[in-house]
Amino acid sequence: MASLAHRLRLAAAARLDRLSLSARFALTGSVVMIVAMVTIGSWVTARISSDVVESTASATALLMDSIIAPLSQELEENDQLSIGPVRALEEILTASVLGERVLSIKIWKPGGLVAYATDPGLVGASFPLNESAQRALAGEIVSELDQVGDAESTRESAFGKPLLEIYSPIRRHWTGEIIAVVEFYEDATALSASLARARVQSWAIVSATTLLIGIALFGVVQRGSVMIARQRAELEGRIRESERLAAQNAALRTGVEHASGRVTELNEQFLHRLGADLHDGPAQLIGLALLRASSIAESKRIETRRREAAAMTTALRDAMTDIRNICAGLSLPEVESLSAEEAVKLMVSNHEQRTGTSVALSLDAAVAELSLPGRICVSRLVQEGLNNAVRHANGIGQRVWLIAREGVMEAGVASRIPSTDRPSVTHRGGLGLQGLKERVRSLGGSFAVTEADGEMMISMSMPLGSVGDARKGVRANAD
């Protein structure tokens, strides 16, 4: 049973925790306010009833004392009233307005003897004094509403209307000693109706006040609950956004690490290829020239020397040509002092002079503020694309573009593809397309190689200013 009760409490607590703050306040607050309303209402109505009854009883008792006390002084020595005081009391009860209110009177001696009663059959009889009569003998004025039930109150019970029962002490003149207690019953019909109206009004006021307080507090709590719910939703949204950004950053970090590894690998491949190109080209030709030089030194015939000298000159010229071609694929104009537009123009001009081909150029001045890493990347793209165009397409239909569109820089190189020679997009030349792709990705851009409508195109896109801002932040932190 204890375990079941514990599970029920846990289930109730869990259901309560799922409610909103305003709902929990409405549930618990209503219970507390109802209990408080009932407690306060009961206390107020009881207090009003008590005060009204005591006030009415005190006023009636003072009036009756002013009439009965002078007529009851003989009870100090006698056990009953004489005929004179009895006649006077009967006339008061029958011939005055007071008689319409006071329906019955009893006068008690301290021992419980009835010295006078409107019911003659009770005169001279003795009854045990109740608590109210004993308190009156002690000097109090005691009143009770609708509490008629004693054995000597049969006549009063038969009236069938609400009665106010009052006990008041009768004091001896001059000394103030209590010689008897008068008990009388007042018609309380009007008093009961007045108390009923007071109770209804009190309950209405207490209920309305409690309701207004509850509504006001609920409004405050409801507003706070809505604010808390909105802030909780915003916080959850920020947490989800933080988690998404964390996942995105992790993916970007992985991509950067991969790109860095690929760049290192491509650099090694490039150095290996560069060494191979130097060994297989200029080094072989220079070695041939050295052999020709040895032949010149050993030969004594003028004809042989001239022939060997001519061969040596040709080998050295070819070696220089190979070296210049290799350097042409490595060299890059100084772009730090040039804008992106100026750097691209210089690359195109050098290419046209070196190859004797023409290039259609489309530039947008909006990319003039491209960062230095971006300008270098664009220059390498133009260099690689134009070199490939000459190598694989004889420089036919060469065109270069550099434009800005909705905050994104786009650059590319295109050339016609001869129908007899369709190159592979993974050819080996210059820095190579794979190395260029990794360079672009390391700067947060995208790279593409496409073939469409008889054209080979390599292109890249990159957010304007993003790379420059990042590099500036790195330099600032380093400083």
Note the Cα 124 to chain centre separation in Å.
85
Residue type, 204: A
pLDDT of res. 139: 86
CA distance 198 to 124: 42
Q: Domain 336-479 has what CATH class?
A: alpha beta
pLDDT of res. 288: 66
CATH number for 20-187 (one of 3.30.420.340, 3.30.70.20, 1.10.287.40, 3.30.450.20): it is 3.30.450.20
Note the pLDDT tens digit of each residue in 219-246. 888 888 888 888 888 999 999 999 999 9
CA distance 381 to 403: 14
165's tokens? 């029962």
CATH 3.30.565.10 domain span(s) along the chain: 336-479
The DSSP string of 224-245 is HHHHHHHHHHHHHHHHHHHHHH
Contact 266, 438 (CB under 8 A): yes
CATH 3.30.450.20 domain span(s) along the chain: 20-187
pTM: 0.44
pLDDT of res. 243: 92
Contacts of residue 354, defined as CB under 8 A and 6 or more positions apart, other chains included, come to: 328
CA distance 75 to 172: 9
Q: What are phi and psi of 364, to 5 degrees?
A: -125, 125
List of the chain residues with pLDDT < 70: 1-6, 8-18, 95-99, 146-160, 266, 270, 276-277, 279-281, 284-285, 288, 291-292, 324-335, 365-369, 419-432, 465-479
pLDDT of res. 423: 47
Helices 83-95 & 21-71 angle (0-180, nearest 10): 130
93's tokens? 């009860």
